[in-house]
Amino acid sequence: MRSTVAAILRKDLRLELRTFEAIPSMTLFSLTTFVLFHFGLNETSVEGDLAAGVLWVTLLFAAILGLNRLFVAEEEQGGFDGFLLAPVDRTAMFVAKATGLFLFLALVELVAVPAFTILLLGPSPWAILPELILVLALGNAGIAVVGTLVAGIAVRTRARDLIGPLITLPLLVPVILAASQATAPLLAEGGAQALPGRWVAVLGIYDLIFGLVAYGVFDFLLED
């Protein structure tokens, strides 16, 4: 199982390194969205609830961009058939793809979050960096787990670019809700407040439950 996951993950990362398809476009999309928010909200700087909302909605839409492409190579180049012919655990595909999406999101945030603090954020985020990274990691995990599962469903449908986001967005409402609530006090004007533990707990529980559900049902998507 572990070697299968590593093989798929290595394949995806190499593909990304050679084509530079997903991560640069997701990053560019985030930067453009920050600019759009500047003009749409007509604010030179944001803080608190507004900052958390702008950050998370932008990251969510960037993630949607990535998960639309997540299984396209497998579907179009016959990767699914090759994978099914190999004598390996099918859940490995889910674990590898979810890990890959998590890594992609982390790399995007490596650029997008600093850009956000420069372009839009009022208060300095240095003091709360560890907490922010924790919330980002938990939010990414939720997006990666649910996004991978839905991308696996959507890639085999006729209207995959439509169906994927349509199912993903309502499923991720609790993630955006909890992540924004957890991030808002960190980005508050006039000094960060404490990280609200119960929203971190909600994120953790969501990740755990949907991780288990997706792990359990993903096999059925690869049955033919």
Is position 182 an interface residue for other proteins (rule: CB under 8 A)? no
DSSP H helices, the chain, are 2-19, 22-41, 48-68, 72-76, 79-85, 91-119, 129-154, 160-171, 173-183, 197-217
* Residue 99 C-beta: closest distance to other proteins, Å: 20
Is position 224 an interface residue for other proteins (rule: CB under 8 A)? yes
**DSSP line for 133-190:** HHHHHHHHHHHHHHHHHHHHHHTTSTTHHHHHHHHHHHHTHHHHHHHHHHHGGGG-SS
Which residue among 53, 122, 125, 174 contacts other proteins (CB under 8 A)?
Answer: 174
Is position 29 an interface residue for other proteins (rule: CB under 8 A)? no
* Residue 187 C-beta: closest distance to other proteins, Å: 18
Cα–Cα distance, 196 to 186 (Å, whole number): 9
User: Considering only residues 188-217, where is the footprint of other proteins by CB under 8 A?
Assistant: 198-199, 202, 205-206, 209-210, 213-214, 217
* Contacts with other proteins, residue ranges (CB under 8 A): 149, 153, 156-160, 162-163, 166-167, 169-171, 173-174, 177-178, 181, 198-199, 202, 205-206, 209-210, 213-214, 217, 220-221, 223-224
